[in-house]
Amino acid sequence: SVAEFRMMQQMELLLDNLKQAQSDLKREKALTDRLLYSILPESAANALRQGRAVPVENYDNVTILFSDIKGFTSICHQSQPLEVVRMLNEMYMRFDQLVVAHKVYKVETIGDAYMVVGGLPEPNEDHAHRVARQALDMLVEAGKVLNPRSKQPLEIRVGIHSGAVLAGVVGLCMPRYCLFGNNVNVANRTEATGEPGRIHLTQPTYELIKDSPE
């Protein structure tokens, strides 16, 4: 009958709408997952999403890298805020691509400081080599970014140190994956007291990479 035919049409339309809604939901979930995994390690993100606490983990040996820009304070005084943001964004996008290529983990950026670690959240034996290659490429890529006022290539300082750390997620609002321990401070001081355009290694890192053929 006509009534049955119309009912079948409505059911087919509802089914099509349901399938489309499910497809849209999967796509949105994939986008949300990608964003979440760009902020936190996948294991930590999944635990938080399931309402579970993220345990603090101890890593016996990782390699930590810090970098900053030579004369960043002067650049900020001489440039418009938007120029500084664009400069940092260009440099960090280059560094982020290197992080993916070398399979290390970007911990955070604060101002002009960039922090990377190898050997966590997934432990690996060649963490020092990965971070060293990251550092070498960062020097090259930073030189492709120009000071917005002087138009000269940027120079960065890089410090690298290896040792044990604790890692965990802190905070409820905008939770962060952080590293803790004296070895983080050593890596930071190694960078802060270094010379621009150079990579500074501590003895523990040197011992891990000294026999590398690269």
Please list the active-site residues.
68-69, 112
For the chain, the distance separating the N- and C-terminal CA atoms, rounded to the nearest angstrom, is: 79
Q: Parallel, antiparallel, or unpaired: how do β-strands 176-180 and 156-170 relate?
A: antiparallel
Closest CA to 69 of 200, 191, 202: 191
